[in-house]
Amino acid sequence: MLKAVRYLGPVGLGVTSPQLFLADDRQVYVVKLQNNHLGPKILVNELIAARLGILTDLCFPSGDIIFIQPREVFHRHRAHSAAGSGYHFASLFLAGSRYVTKANLPRAVNKRQMAGVVLFDHLFHNMDRTQNYKNLLIRREDQGYRIYAIDHSHLFRRGRWTTDSLALLADKIHIDYRRSFRMLLKYYFTADDIMHYAVKFRDITQEQLAEIIEEIPSEWLADASERQAVLAYMVKRLAKVMDLAERLCRCIPDPDRRADPHQEEQFLHMGVVHPDASIGDVGPD
């Protein structure tokens, strides 16, 4: 768990009004506060995604629970001191990142990890990546350009899910070609890429899922029946992962018929992003 030591200011992007904090590990984090207008379930979704990302080696920024004591970190920022003492969700700030575009995608050295992200989005009904072009980032690092998938607040189709909505979603398998990141499927992924991550998801145990649920602070999710509903939903979804992966594989064209990605006229649903969009100060929505 992290502890905030200094408030740095607003991110300036996102419906959940994320804020920047320096934590006790000397790293800067984008923090979603409990009192965001969509409610604390947003934080539940983010924590679940972060932990599943670790278990399956997805390209999510490091994320963790962060404790904030307003009197210690806000000082003169009275508007935010109302956040209250307690636990919030922090995602590592990716300085120097840009939005993913058709132009910079080929540079990424970790495109294979996006196969896991596509599978994750289908497994857990993360619709937001279809509609929000700001949650795929790329930045230059020592090993080369790396893609990061951020913002999982709308996991389970919507941020403010209910036990009933989870029950309705649990058995649904639908391949959204837009959410499949059409360009990646068309030009870069192989069936082996998809199945590599399918096995990782399949091997997650119910005990590991229960540990994730146990980690959720009670102030984010106090209702025991809702905790059980999330656990049951994830167990059901992971039981369907191989079927879902096989359906995704059928969306991949024959390698011999693949065209040059540079000949693609439109960059569809990886986000219609201006190629010059620079987001040195961006973070999760």
Q: Of 70, 92, 114, which residue is a domain's last?
A: 92
Q: Do 68 and 104 reside in the same domain of the chain?
A: no
**88 and 130 assigned to the same domain:** no
Q: What is the CATH number for 209? A: 1.10.1070
CA 114 → CA 125, 257, 265, distances in Å? 16, 22, 22
Give the SS3 label for residue 174: coil
At 268 the pLDDT is: 39
* Predicted local distance difference test score (pLDDT) of residue 80: 53
For residue 215 the two structure tokens come to: 């980690």
- Transcribe 10-47 into DSSP letters: E-S--TT--EEEEETTS-EEEEE-TTSTT-THHHHHHH
Residue 184 predicted with pLDDT over 70: yes
The residue ranges of DSSP E strands in the chain, in sequence order, are: 2-10, 19-23, 28-32, 63-68, 86-92, 97-99, 136-141, 144-149, 278-279
Predicted confidence at residue 157, as pLDDT, reads 83
What's the pLDDT band for 281 if we cut at 50, 70, 90?
very low
Whether the per-residue pLDDT at 48 is higher than 70: the answer is yes
Residue 138 has what pLDDT?
Answer: 96
Q: What's the average model confidence in pLDDT over 110-114?
A: 95
Residue of 155, 116, 151 lying closest to 279 (CA atoms):
151
Task: Tell me the C-alpha to C-alpha distance, in Å, between residue 86 and each of 8, 16, 41, 70, 146.
Answer: 18, 17, 15, 9, 33
Q: Which domain holds residue 77?
A: 2-92
Considering the domain boundaries, does residue 276 fall inside one? no
Quick check: 235 pLDDT over 80? yes
What is the rounded distance in angstroms from the CA atom of residue 12 to the CA atom of residue 19?
8
Confirm whether 279 is domain-assigned: no
8 A C-beta contact, residue 32 and residue 155 = no
pLDDT of residue 81: 52
Across 149-176, average pLDDT:
90
Residue 266 confidence (pLDDT) above 50: no
Predicted TM-score (pTM) of the model is 0.86
Q: Are residues 164 and 216 in the same domain?
A: yes
Which residues fall within 8 angstroms of residue 54, CB to CB, at 6 or more apart?
Answer: none
Instruction: Judge whether residue 237 has pLDDT over 50.
Output: yes
Q: 53: part of which helix (H) or strand (E)?
A: helix 41-56
Number of structural domains in the chain? 2
List pLDDT tens digits, range 131-152: 666 789 999 999 999 999 999 9
Determine contact, residues 61/139, Cβ cutoff 8 Å: no
User: Average model confidence (pLDDT) for the chain?
Assistant: 84
Same domain as 82, residue 101: no
Q: Answer yes or no: do 126 and 195 share one domain.
A: yes
Q: Do 136 and 179 meet the contact criterion of CB atoms below 8 Å apart?
A: no
Walk across the sheet containing 144-149 and list its strands.
144-149, 136-141, 97-99, 278-279
What 3-state DSSP class applies to 89? strand
The stretch 189-195 carries a mean pLDDT of: 94
Would you say residue 169 lies in a domain?
yes
Q: Which residue has the higher pLDDT, 5 or 256?
A: 5
16 and 115 together in one domain? no
pLDDT in tens, 248-259: 998 888 765 455
In this structure, the answer to whether residues 138 and 260 fall within a common structural domain is yes
